[in-house]
Structure formats: structure tokens, C-alpha cells
Chains A and B, each alone.
Chain A
Amino acid sequence: MATVHPEEQTQIQDPSQWVDLHGDMLLSYALSRINHRDTAEDLVQETFLAAWKQRHDFAHRSRFSTWLVSILRHKIADHFRREGSRQACSFDDSDDWQSHGPQFTKRGKWTSNPKAWSMSPDELVENREFWKIVAICLTDMPAHLAYVFRLRELKSAKTKDICSLLEISSANMSVRLHRARLLLRQCLENKWFDSPS
């Protein structure tokens, strides 16, 4: 038996309130994954319109806002699926994903050796400041790389599920994960582990 939050009954039938009640929340969600303002706003717009069309499918099994987020999540996946067919993701030495310069020389050596990190995961797991830096680093990297990384590392998605969601090969997925890990590692080192303060 679904719990119906009384105020949601009327809310759902009155879309003029939807944007003021949920628009900013949806935008935050979209921006944290897309980091391109116009695109994020487009997806929020599409979400509201889709929600209106599908409003009879909302069965009150969750809060209305949660249901909206699930629609947005699908829109975001669609976006990256379309992006994926454009991001050829060549496996060679295209450097355009390396905004801070190449990680390796032409001979395959590190351009800058990893430094020693002198903290243990336990010390950091509850550290808010550290997670803010992690969030910044994920936002800094190309969105299509961060997206795959989040699915794999934060949502523990199976590799075959990621591949079918985005319609990419497992080789392509491996390349994206590898690049995301290189970028994240470098960013965390610069902003946290090796940072002067």
C-alpha cells in the first residue's frame, strides 16, 4: 500500500507549481553530472514535460521529487548515449582529454611521477573537505569520463550494464575508466595530497 503524501495529490495535478518546487533541485542534480549549463537546463525542461505526459504512471511509491529525479536520470543517460557516439574515444594518443597536459611522454614514461600519499583511507572517509575536492575533481574532468567513472565506482554498476546503457564497447568503456582514474588521481594529488597547506 503506497503512502500518499496528501499535498502531493493536488501538486501533481497542478503543474504550474512544479518548476518552483522542484526546478532548482533538478538543475543541481543535472549540473553535477553534465557541467554544461544550457544542456542541464534542457534536460530539466525535458524532464518536466515527460513527467506531465507520464503523470498517470506516478504511483506514489516514492515522493514526487524522487520520481522526477528518476526521469531526469534517464534523460542524462540518453544524453551520454548520444554523446558516446560522437566521442569517438580513439584509443591512441589523442590528448584532448588531458587538459592539464599529457600524463605520459612519447616514450610512455610519466611526465610527472606520482608522489607518495601519506594518508590512509580511514582518515579521509569522513572528511568533508576532502570529499569537496573529490567532487571538484569529478566536475573538472570531461563529463563523459566522469559519468562512466561514477556509474562504476560510486554506483558499483556492472561493466556489461554500463556498456549496454551507453551503447559502447567494453574497450571504449575501459579507455574512459582509465582516463578518468588518471585524471582523478592527478587532480587529487595536486589539490589535496601534494598541496602546500
Chain B
Amino acid sequence: MNCKHATKLLSEAQERQLSKSETFGLRFHVLICTACRRFNKQLQFLRTLLTQSSPKILAAVYASDASLSPVRRQKIKTLLIQAAKEN
């Protein structure tokens, strides 16, 4: 088992149960490979962090100063006014 395969299994393990042979091969690889051991820890780390995260923080952080372009703004208004007239 190489690292590419091991990381794929480590990721999949977050969603499904691995088979006995997958688990066996993975355990052995992680035992001898520092890089993948770290990767696994970091996967758990991210999982913990994200489940603990406050939705408010994420929402605040995503808030942007985005503004509709004037052209688009006008276009939508026109379409809405048109639609309103038809009703």
C-alpha cells in the first residue's frame, strides 16, 4: 500500500466501514509512515474543528462586499417589472 492509496482509505473511513483487509493494510502502513500518520491526525483535527465551529463565525467570515453589477441590477429589475405587468 502506498501513501496515495492509504490517504484515500483514511478519507473513505470517515464515511464508511473499511473491510478487514483494507483495515489491516492501512493500519500497517500508518504504523510505519509518519506522513500518513500525520495526515490521519489532521483529518481528525479538521473533523473536530468543523463540527465544533459556530455557524455564526462561518457566516460572518463568508460575508463579502459583493455588489451586483449595475447592468445586472437593471436587467433583473426590468425582468421583474415585466413579469409584474403580465400578472
Using a CB–CB cutoff of 8 Å, the interface residues on chain A facing chain B are 15-16, 18-20, 23-24, 27-28, 31-32, 41, 44-45, 48-49, 52-53, 103-104, 107-110, 113-117, 121, 124-126, 128, 131-132, 134-135, 152-154, 156, 159, 174, 177-178, 181-182, 184-185, 188
Contacts and interface: CB of A to CB of B under 8 A. Distances in A.
A134 B34 CA distance: 25
A131 B34 contact: no
B5 A108 contact: yes
20 contacts: A15-B83, A19-B68, A24-B66, A27-B68, A28-B63, A41-B68, A41-B69, A53-B83, A109-B3, A113-B34, A124-B49, A131-B53, A131-B57, A156-B51, A174-B11, A174-B12, A178-B7, A178-B12, A181-B11, A182-B11
Given A19-B73, A52-B80, 5 more contacts: A23-B68, A31-B66, A49-B80, A124-B49, A131-B53
Given A28-B66, A121-B52, A19 B84 contact: no
B19 interface: no
B68 A185 contact: no
B27 interface: no
Chain A at the B interface: mostly helix, strand, loop or mixed?
helix
A194 to B, nearest CB: 12
B61 A134 contact: yes
B46 A184 contact: yes
B45 A117 contact: yes
Chain B at the A interface: mostly helix, strand, loop or mixed?
helix
A13 B52 CA distance: 41
Interface of B: 2-5, 7-8, 11-12, 14-16, 34-35, 38-39, 41-43, 45-55, 57-58, 60-64, 66-69, 72-73, 75-77, 79-81, 83-84
Nearest to A112: B35
B8 A178 contact: yes
A107 B1 CA distance: 10
Given A108-B3, A125-B52, A181-B43, A15 B81 contact: yes
Contact of B61 (A53, A131, A152): A131
Given A108-B4, A185-B46, A16 B77 contact: yes
A114 B53 contact: no
B83 A131 contact: no
A43 B83 CA distance: 17
The 9 A-B residue pairs whose C-beta atoms are closest, nearest first, are A108-B2, A108-B4, A15-B80, A178-B11, A104-B4, A114-B38, A113-B35, A32-B62, A121-B49
